[in-house]
């Protein structure tokens, strides 16, 4: 599937119309911290009904699919959040849904998949990642909704960029958690089309930061992957089909370690009464490094689906 570069603004605007009444238009919330001169705002996608932004991309892709394509249901490959996005929309459409999950997927997300009426198949990480590379899982019926590189999914994600500019037209930088690039490239496509001088940064975790490594190498490259409680971002490599898009639209990647993400989750709980998962808090951790500058910065809090046990450890200032 060829991916337009960038995603056309008209496709993102059409997705916004298509998603009206199906998603929550999350507000920008000011974040105050004594150790930064930046004016930081939070875009809390953890407030969506499924606890993450994935409702947008899945909803747009499935709304565009024909009844014939959806006749045998849908399936996706996801650590949990895209799974919920696809399952939520499948439930609305009254069609079957199955999910291929990696073996480190947290129980909170697995429980949510079943709660939404979907089933899942657990695979070792290497096999799960191959499903994402191949865009299919042999023997599985239904339409495959790719969690990253489906243009309709990316356009749905891009509606976040439109909302950011509606509320903060003079934004200087936006920091977006980087898993496969579908969220960041969608947001960047929207914002760069309307305010091209805005910087768009990826936030990555040091245990798995292939985009940063690829930027340094000047081409898609693989990295050592270490599983951690930050399960919503990080992989072994940049998908080749995404490289032209993310390398041209994103200005840089800010890599943060597990300790910085733990600190940001705690701060969000203590100061904003906001629950963020590791991936979601990575954008704030990146902003607090100062590497995104000192202007008006929006941190996309991509999700809030975290196990209670992990959250308790974090509130005790431990790494789960």
Cis peptide before 6 (omega within 30 of 0): yes
| Residue matched to tokens 């597990």 | 258
Q: Cα separation of 3 and 7, whole Å? A: 8
Instruction: Taking residues 193-220, report their average pLDDT.
Output: 98
277-293: b or e for each residue (b if 16 or more CB lie within 10 Å)? bbbbbbbbbbbbeebbe
Catalytic residue among 43, 54, 192, 310: 54
Asked if 19 and 133 sit in the same domain, the reply is no
**Domain range for 82:** 55-144
Catalytic residue among 109, 212, 302, 310: 302
Q: What is the pLDDT of residue 1?
A: 67
Asked if 188 and 107 sit in the same domain, the reply is no
pLDDT in tens, 143-191: 999 999 999 999 999 999 999 999 999 999 999 999 999 999 999 999 9
Q: How many domains is the chain built from?
A: 2
Instruction: Taking residues 183-210, report their average pLDDT.
Output: 98
The pTM for the full model equals 0.96
**According to DSSP H, which parts of 136-254 are helical?**
151-167, 182-194, 210-217, 243-249
Asked if 166 and 253 sit in the same domain, the reply is yes
**Residue 196's pLDDT band (cuts 50, 70, 90):** very high
pLDDT in tens, 260-303: 999 999 999 999 999 999 999 999 999 999 999 999 999 999 99
Domain boundary among 144, 159, 186: 144
Asked if 304 and 168 sit in the same domain, the reply is yes
* Structure tokens given for 273: 């009464």
Q: What percent of the chain has pLDDT over 70?
A: 100
For the question of residue 302 being annotated catalytic, the response is yes
**Residue 105's pLDDT band (cuts 50, 70, 90):** confident
Task: Output the CA angle 20-24-28, nearest 5 degrees.
Answer: 120
If you average pLDDT over every residue of the chain, what do you get? Answer: 96
Instruction: Taking residues 91-98, report their average pLDDT.
Output: 97
Name the packing angle between helices 9-19 and 54-64 (round to 10°). Answer: 90
Asked if 29 and 69 sit in the same domain, the reply is no
């Amino acid at each position: 599937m060829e991916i337009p570069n960038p995603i056309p603004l008209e496709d993102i605007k059409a997705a916004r119309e298509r998603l009206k009444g199906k998603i929550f238009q999350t507000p920008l919330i000011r974040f105050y911290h004594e150790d930064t001169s930046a004016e930081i705002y939070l875009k809390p996608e953890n407030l969506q009904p499924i606890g993450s932004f994935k409702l947008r991309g899945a909803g747009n892709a499935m709304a565009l699919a024909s009844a014939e394509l959806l006749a045998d249901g849908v399936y996706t490959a996801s650590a949990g959040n895209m799974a919920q996005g696809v399952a939520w929309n499948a439930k609305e459409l009254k069609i079957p849904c199955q999910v291929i999950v990696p073996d480190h997927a947290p129980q909170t997300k697995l429980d949510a998949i079943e709660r939404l009426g979907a089933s899942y198949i657990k695979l070792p990480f290497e096999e799960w990642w191959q499903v994402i590379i191949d865009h299919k899982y042999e023997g599985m019926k239904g339409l495959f909704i790719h969690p990253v590189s489906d243009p309709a999914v990316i356009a749905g994600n891009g509606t976040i960029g439109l909302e950011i500019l509606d509320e903060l037209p003079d934004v200087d930088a936006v920091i977006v958690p980087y898993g496969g690039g579908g969220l960041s490239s969608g947001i960047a496509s929207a914002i760069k089309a309307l305010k091209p001088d805005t910087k768009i940064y990826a936030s990555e975790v040091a245990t798995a930061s292939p985009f940063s490594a690829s930027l340094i190498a000047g081409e898609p490259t693989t990295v050592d992957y270490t599983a951690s409680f930050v399960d919503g971002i990080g992989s072994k490599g940049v998908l080749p089909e995404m490289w032209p898009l993310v390398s041209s639209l994103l200005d840089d990647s800010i890599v943060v370690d597990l300790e910085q993400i733990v600190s940001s989750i705690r701060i969000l709980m203590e100061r904003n009464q906001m629950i963020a998962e590791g991936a979601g808090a990575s954008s704030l951790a990146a902003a607090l490094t100062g590497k995104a500058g000192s202007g008006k910065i929006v941190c996309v809090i991509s999700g809030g689906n975290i196990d209670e046990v992990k959250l308790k450890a974090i509130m005790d200032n431990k790494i789960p």
